Every structure is written in structure tokens, then in C-alpha cells.
Amino acid sequence: MQAGNLGGSLAGLKVCLQKLYFTFKDQIKDDHGKQEELKKPIRVSLEEQKGHIARWENRIKSILEEKVPTLKQRIETCKEEAAHIRKNPQEIIGDSGAKPSFYIGLIILLFLTVYLFTFYSSASYSAFFKEFSLSAIGVANAIFDPQALSKGVKDGVMELVLILTIPFVFPGLGYLIHKIQEGKGFSKFFKIAMLVIVTFLFDALLAYDITEKIYDIKARNSFGAEMPEFSISIALKSINFWIIIFAGFIVYLIWGFVLDFVLAAFGKLDKVKVVLREKEILTQDLNAEILQLNQDVDKMTHQIDITKTKVKKMMESINSTIIPREFEQVAYAFMAGWLAWMRENGAGPDRMDAASETVHQFVRDAIYNYPEIYN
């Protein structure tokens, strides 16, 4: 009848559905038992949402009032401990003089290294390439040639390379001795002794060769005085031989002892750096943890806002009349009559489908807005 009165229009159908809805609502709102039954799932869900809010709020309170202040206090403690260590490094290394000792030893080591480079580059040039003259047969002139490098450049690349690289052999041997000392067992003493002997023999060969060249120059210019052929026994009796040994090998041994001392002092200072680095890493980790906790607080605050909106909607639902599912049967029965009139009066499939979809959408809006009830 209504479809006929309104010509089967969609606007008319919507008006009829609204009237049908309010008529049904007036009938059901006074059924308190039914309403309470429909609202029970909403009340249960409401309590669950309130429980979520309470837990999130308690966790936020715990983070902001307990965890974050505790972490910040630990950060301050780390900073204070680091500052104390910087002022009192001896508490870590157990030696108040380690820092000045390291720098003094380092300066000495640098000068000794420069000396050894100068000595061995000059001595190598003198032993392998230099032509001695009568005017330069003193041990100082024989060993320390101020033009050794410039002459090496002039004489050829290979000669220069040899002069420049030989000095590194001896610091290399010294460093190797230092590393062997870090080992365990009696075999390390044998290895160290062998390295020291090899170094001494190399120095002795350089000293012997230079001393022999000085001796030969003197022999050729002795003006008839016969001089015996140069030998090991003569070399051992020559003051020049031992001057070269002491100027090279003894300084090399001193360089090795100073190296051990400097590395030991550096190891003590490095303990301070390690401890300070650990404090720095711990501070970074604590700051990262605070940042993560603050992000968690932001996420929970957002969830609380969303949940409070849900709670508000649930409260409105509890305070209003809930339409039970039976309205679906009433609405679809009405739709059946409406569609029957449309079919009898020649309505096309498109109009009928539109009318059907209008009814279905109205039912969804009227009933299925309460997932706590119908899911």
C-alpha cells in the first residue's frame, strides 16, 4: 500500500523505513528485560576497555615517575663517575705518574728513533757504497755522513731505497722482541736471545766493514811502514769498532727498553680510555632506553584517547535504546511488499536493486552498529 501511495520511489522508501524504525523502537524501548540483555555485552566490553585504560595509565605513571627518573639518575651517575675518573685516573691505573711517564718516554723514544734512522742509514751507506778518503777516516766521518741521502738520490734509486729501508730493520726487531715478551713459556727467552744475537752480529758486521775501510786507508798511506792485514783480532782491539757497536747496538737496546716502558705506560692509560668508553656506551644505551619509553608513552596515550572515544560511544549506547535483530525481519518483510508492488508495476531491475540496497543499508545502520552485541 505504501509503495503504491509513494509510487515506489527511493525517497518514499527511506521515509517509510524511518517510520517503521521509530514505531519498532517505541515498542521495544519499554521491554527492559530485552534491553538489559542487549546491553549486557556492551557493559562487559565497556569494563574491558576501562581496564585497558587503567593499565595503560598505570604503566605511563610507572614510566614517567619511576623508570625514566631512575634511568636519568643512572646517566648522571655515569657522567659523575667519568668526570671523577678523568680527574683521578690513578684510581684505575694504580699509578699517578703513568701519564707524564708516558709522554716523557714517548719523546725519548721519538728522538732515539730519529737517531737510529740517521745512524743506520749513514752506517749502511758507509759500509756498502762510500769511498773513503784519507781526510775522512775518523769514525765520526765514517759513520755519520750528512750527505748520505743526497748521494743516494744521485747514485740511483736502488741505493736510496736500501739506505732508507735498512734503518727500519732494527726497530722492527725491537718491536718483535717486545711482542715475544708477551708470550708464555721459556721458549720466548730463547727467541729473544736469538734476535739480540742476530742484531749484534749485524751491527758487528757493519762495524767490522767500516773499521776495515778506515784501516785500509791508513795502511795505503803509511809511507812504507808495514801494517798487518786487517783481521777480527785487530777489529776487536780497535776503538772505532767498539764506538760503532755502542753507537748502534747499545742505543738499539736502549730503544727497546724505552719502547717496553712507553707501551706499558700506554696500556695503563688505555685502561682509563676503555673505562670512559664503557661509561659513554652505557650513557648512550640509557638515553636510547629513555627515548623508547617516551615513545611507548606516546603510543599508549594515543591508545587511551582512542579507547576513551569507544567508551564514550558505549556509554551513549547503554543510555539509549538498542534495536534488536528482530527489526531485520520487519524491515525485510516490508521490503518484500515494496519490491512486489514495483515488479507488478513494471519497475526495471536497476530500480529494484537500488530499493533493495537502500533497505539493506538502513538495516546495517540501525542494527549492526554494536559489534559487542552482534559479532
Condensed to tens digits (0 to 9), the pLDDT of residues 6-35 reads: 887 888 888 888 888 887 777 777 666 777
Domain membership flag for residue 74: no
Task: Indicate if 98 and 243 belong to the same structural domain.
Answer: yes
Residue 263 has which C-alpha cell?
A: 707501551
Res. 58: pLDDT tops 80 = yes
At 326-345, the pLDDT tens digits run 777 788 888 888 888 888 88
State the DSSP code for 89.
Answer: T
State the DSSP code for 361.
Answer: H
Question: Number of folded domains in the chain?
Answer: 2
Task: Indicate if 127 and 274 belong to the same structural domain.
Answer: yes
- The helix or strand, by DSSP H or E, that contains position 156, with its residue range, turns out to be none
Q: Which of 290, 310, 342 is the last residue of a domain?
A: 290
Determine phi and psi for 74, rounding to 5 degrees: -65, -40
- What pLDDT is stored for residue 59 in this prediction? 93
Structural domain that includes position 13: 2-29+321-374
Task: Indicate if 17 and 162 belong to the same structural domain.
Answer: no
Domain membership flag for residue 61: no
CA pair distance 170, 168, nearest whole angstrom: 5
Residue 206 has which C-alpha cell?
A: 757493519
Which range in 187-201, 215-229, 310-324, 361-375 is most confidently predicted, on average pLDDT? Answer: 187-201
- 308-319 average pLDDT score: 80
Domain membership flag for residue 173: yes
Q: Which of 242, 274, 290 is the last residue of a domain?
A: 290
Task: Indicate if 219 and 174 belong to the same structural domain.
Answer: yes
Which range in 125-129, 242-246, 286-290, 357-361 is most confidently predicted, on average pLDDT? Answer: 286-290
Task: Indicate if 166 and 273 belong to the same structural domain.
Answer: yes
Of residues 371, 375, 361, 367, the one with CA closest to residue 10: 361
Res. 278: pLDDT tops 90 = no
Instruction: Give the amino acid at 105.
Output: G
Give the pTM.
0.45
Domain membership flag for residue 135: yes
Domain membership flag for residue 108: yes
- What pLDDT is stored for residue 298 in this prediction? 94
pLDDT band at 115 (very low <50, low <70, confident <90, very high): confident
At 126-162, the pLDDT tens digits run 666 666 555 555 555 556 555 655 665 666 666 667 6
- What pLDDT is stored for residue 375 in this prediction? 40
Task: Indicate if 260 and 163 belong to the same structural domain.
Answer: yes
The region that residue 95 occupies, defined by phi over 0 for left and psi between -120 and 50 for alpha, beta otherwise, is beta
Task: Indicate if 12 and 134 belong to the same structural domain.
Answer: no
Q: Which of 271, 290, 309 is the last residue of a domain?
A: 290
Domain membership flag for residue 78: no
CA pair distance 70, 62, nearest whole angstrom: 11
pLDDT band at 235 (very low <50, low <70, confident <90, very high): confident
Q: CB-based burial of residue 245 (10 Å sphere; 0-12 exposed, 13-18 middle, 19+ buried)? A: middle
Higher pLDDT, 158 or 284: 284
Domain membership flag for residue 137: yes
Least confident of 29-43, 106-120, 140-154, 275-289: 140-154
Of residues 83, 82, 86, the one with CA closest to residue 280: 82
Task: Indicate if 349 and 244 belong to the same structural domain.
Answer: no
Task: Indicate if 207 and 343 belong to the same structural domain.
Answer: no
At 255-276, the pLDDT tens digits run 888 888 787 777 666 677 777 8
- What pLDDT is stored for residue 374 in this prediction? 42
- What pLDDT is stored for residue 154 in this prediction? 64
Domain membership flag for residue 164: yes
CA pair distance 213, 100, nearest whole angstrom: 45
pLDDT band at 90 (very low <50, low <70, confident <90, very high): low
Alpha-helical segments (H) within 135-238: 139-143, 148-155, 157-165, 169-181, 187-220, 232-237
The answer for residues whose C-beta is within 8 angstroms of residue 39's C-beta and 6 or more apart is 317, 318, 322
Task: Indicate if 137 and 95 belong to the same structural domain.
Answer: yes
The whole-chain average pLDDT of the chain stands at 77
pLDDT band at 120 (very low <50, low <70, confident <90, very high): confident
Res. 290: pLDDT tops 90 = yes
- What pLDDT is stored for residue 372 in this prediction? 41
Task: Indicate if 175 and 257 belong to the same structural domain.
Answer: yes
Task: Indicate if 101 and 225 belong to the same structural domain.
Answer: yes
